[in-house]
Amino acid sequence: MNPIKGSTAFVIGSGEDVPQSLPLEIDGDTLVICADGGAAWARTWGLTPTIIMGDWDSLNEETRDYWQQQRIPMERFPVAKDQTDLDLAVEYALEHGAKEIHLAGGWGSRIDHSLGNVGLLYRLAKAEITNCLHTKGQRLSACKGNFEAKVRVGSTVSLLPLTSTVEEVNTQGLRYPLVDATLTKGSTLSISNEAISENIALRFGEGILLIVFE
């Protein structure tokens, strides 16, 4: 089976903090890539994976057998490897032409993996790939230059520099606006802003920002 080369990929990991329902619209051109135990979430959401890949440390036998009966392609990797399963899945998405990558199951009790997945967002932003990590209550997106999103009025919006500085930051739709501001990594200045509009927008110069919003 050759994967469909769509511009959007949905990568599903095995982390516990996931949305209760599908966080994006899936169509026939969407690559659905399950990283190991993420195959169980795909089944819960009624999705058919394009491929399941990983070292099988979080993929239970019943789920594996189910997808094997559905003839879903699987690629197994050794436990002793240089990348996490989710990283391998993101790499697969990029190799198959994805320009926008959404992740679910990338946040949970494994804090090391969760923080590593923020690193994946940084890498995607650096390559100018649109990205979003979806959790039960929040979304995390890393970007370079510009960002827009539709949010709930009154919800919290936080900005975290992923580079040492982010220059000339300008915001729209937030209670505490930033005008040509410089944000420094390690500062909490831009934590817990508030949306006063359904549409928020950021414009900035050098640097990469992580936006966390409800």
Tell me the C-alpha distance between 102 and 131, whole Å.
Answer: 6
pLDDT at 2: 42
The set of residues, in sequence order, having a beta carbon less than 8 Å from that of 125 and lying 6+ positions away, is 131, 142, 143, 144, 162, 208
Identify the sign of the CA torsion 91, 93, 99, 104. Answer: negative
> In the chain, which segments carry CATH 3.40.50.10240?
8-137
- Please, what's the largest Cα pairwise distance for the chain? 56
Q: Which tens digits make up the pLDDT trace of 57-113? A: 999 999 999 999 999 999 999 888 889 999 999 999 999 999 999 999 999 999 999
Whether 161 and 183 have beta carbons less than 8 Å apart is answered as: yes
> In the chain, which segments carry CATH 2.60.120.320?
146-213
pLDDT at 80: 84
Q: 146-213 domain in CATH 2.60.120.320?
A: yes
Please state at what angle helix 111-126 crosses helix 85-95, rounded to 10 degrees: 20
Tell me the C-alpha distance between 91 and 136, whole Å.
Answer: 24
Residue listed under structure tokens 């697969």: 92
Number of helices (H), then strands (E), in the chain:
4, 14
pLDDT at 6: 63
pLDDT at 201: 97
Tell me the C-alpha distance between 78 and 187, whole Å.
Answer: 39
Listed as ranges, residues in the chain with pLDDT below 70 are: 1-6
The set of residues, in sequence order, having a beta carbon less than 8 Å from that of 176 and lying 6+ positions away, is 193, 194
User: Domain spanning 8-137: which CATH class is it, in words?
Assistant: alpha beta
User: Amino acid letter at 123?
Assistant: R
